[in-house]
Amino acid sequence: MHILITGASGFLGKHLVQKLLSGGHNLRLVTRKRCNIDQMLAQEPRVRIVEADLTKPETLQGILTGSEVVYNLAGILGQANITDDVYWQTNYQSTGNLLKLCVQEKTVRRFIHCSSAGVQGPIENPPADESFPYAPSNIYETTKAAAEKMVLEYQKKHNFPVVVLRPEFVYGPGDLHVLGLFKAIGSGRFVVFGDGSTWLHPTYIDDAVQACELALDNDAALGQVYIIAGERAVTVRELADQIADTLKVKRPRSVPMWIGRWAAVTLEEIGKAFSKEMPFNRARLKFFTQNRNFKIDKAHTELGYQPQFNLARGLASTVDWYKQEGYL
């Protein structure tokens, strides 16, 4: 099968590329700069690297040539000093440009869009399933929600074959986004605010890739949205303790919530004054003090999705990779 992948140089993209290559598929990898793609892939005969900027429609002509399936993984997640406009351009406008091109050329028979469970925001009455309303709480979630809605509107308006996947808190070898959490726990700098009883739902990278692959040729998935998460949700306290145990360090201490609020605001002001990203802010405080846990029943029933990695196994593999690469 001939497959085009945007965001192929990202965490999920790199793992998905290897999985699809092992399945015998031919891939077109869209990237702004050729150097973003591993040089080993550049030598792979079943891979073609296409330089294009999804935010600029004039660069996209011809990128779909021969592609039967599109995986839209491109996006930007929680980076410092990024304006709201960049989030809108990268997460929303680029998706619109790609959708328009797909509909015009009429060659793509399946568009698999990587959204985020974050489009539902913090969950007031957990666990949430796909029927819960959109309730984004930050610019990343807001732009991902808008892009997802647009994808589903294209499906209805143009009878365009789409599948929407909503991964949650994906981690594992190759990920640097949550590396800071592992470092903070390893150094003893991480603390649990309050009793740590709020919920998070980690998803190991191989399980997220499994869901992407299952969406490839399942006709029951067309027009559907699926939450993709790990085997079970865990409390912040359990996650922190298990990371500490895996690292073989002391488990994090607990501090009152008011200290967390004070520290977040204070560090944000210091960061603004010195134009520097601080290791802690209100967004990070919210992440660890709001419920985000989900049901995966629909993905299990309709896609056959079944997480293979429990938390202990996933953390062990992740820590091994961090140490091997010199990050820890």
pLDDT of residue 80: 63
Contact 247, 319 (CB under 8 A): yes
Q: Write phi, then psi, for 50 (nearest 5 degrees).
A: -115, 120
- 199-200 and 234-235 as β-strands: parallel, antiparallel, unpaired? antiparallel
What residues contact 190, with CB distance under 8 A and at least 6 apart? 181, 184, 240, 252
Give me the helix-helix angle, 179-187 and 236-247, nearest 10°: 70
pLDDT of residue 171: 98
Q: Which residues pair with 24 in a beta bridge?
A: none
**Euclidean distance between CA atoms 162 and 165, whole angstroms:** 10
Contact 99, 154 (CB under 8 A): yes
For the chain, domains (ranges, CATH) are 2-169+203-230+294-308 (3.40.50.720)
pLDDT tens digit sequence for 140-197: 999 999 999 999 999 999 999 999 999 999 999 999 999 999 999 999 999 999 999 9
Q: Which two tokens stand for residue 50?
A: 């296409």
pLDDT of residue 257: 87
pLDDT tens digit sequence for 56-78: 999 999 999 889 999 999 998 86
Cis omega before residue 256 (within 30°)?
Answer: no
Burial classification of residue 112, based on how many CB atoms lie within 10 Å of its CB (0-12 exposed, 13-18 middle, 19 or more buried)? buried
Q: Write phi, then psi, for 98 (nearest 5 degrees).
A: -70, -40
Count other Cβ atoms within 10 Å, centred on residue 151: 23
Q: Which two tokens stand for residue 111?
A: 């568009």
pLDDT of residue 106: 86
Mean pLDDT by 10 residues, the chain (328 residues): 94 95 94 73 85 93 93 85 90 96 92 97 95 95 97 95 97 95 95 94 98 95 97 97 98 91 84 75 83 97 97 98 97
DSSP state of 235: E
